[in-house]
Amino acid sequence: DAGVIQSPRHEVTEMGQEVTLRCKPISGHDYLFWYRQTMMRGLELLIYFNNNVPIDDSGMPEDRFSAKMPNASFSTLKIQPSEPRDSAVYFCASGQGVSGANVLTFGAGSRLTVL
Amino acid sequence: GEDVEQSLFLSVREGDSSVINCTYTDSSSTYLYWYKQEPGAGLQLLTYIFSNMDMKQDQRLTVLLNKKDKHLSLRIADTQTGDSAIYFCAERGNYGQNFVFGPGTRLSVLP
């Protein structure tokens, strides 16, 4: 398996523009997580899905952020309009099952810079 | 709410042992994890321990868990320059998928 695949790896955009980050989880994993990492706030959980259904979106900063998972092999995180304070590395992670260790596997991340 | 704390920096000499410490607050945590993040990369699982265990060893890595004090440590024997990275402690309760990560400890290995 190629692991969790995220795109783009780097994105530079201007304030006010729409940003879409994409994630392909590991096949067979039924949990998908979106995290944001910054120097100031560390690793923050934004939202997670189980079987394509959003379970907890309490970490989504505000209405400018939205996430979808139309099928088991694809998820998007959209920021519209983007602001400089959204600059961060966004990670997608997937995991399997509720019982047991349910190890998370992370993607390489998407580094977003909003000018 | 749940909280996970770690010291932010650790420097060791190549060949020495490194010990990275972590404390957590959620007494219902059932699994505790150590992840490694190298520059420009995602988090990579190193090891995990179930809460009814005191110790787990995997090659150069030893995890110690003191459940009474809610203290977790990661010992890396014979630390190499390739071990330089940020190490994250994380915990998860028995239900749900609320993984709580610590701030990460940046390990620097000096030649």
A105 alpha-carbon distance from chain centroid = 13
- How many cross-chain Cβ pairs, A to B, lie less than 8 Å apart? 52
pLDDT in tens, A52-78: 999 999 999 889 999 999 999 999 999
Which of A43, A50, A102 is the closest to B101 by Cβ? A43
Relative to beta strand A42-50, strand A105-106 is unpaired
Q: Phi-psi region for residue B40, left (φ > 0), alpha (ψ -120 to 50) or beta?
A: left
Q: How far is B111 from chain A (nearest CA, A)?
A: 27
pLDDT of res. B30: 80
pLDDT of res. A103: 85
pLDDT of res. A100: 64
pLDDT of res. A60: 94
Q: How far apart are CA A17 and CA A8, in angstroms?
A: 16
Residues of chain B short of pLDDT 70, as ranges, are 1, 94-97
With a cut of 70, say whether residue A97 has pLDDT above it. Answer: no
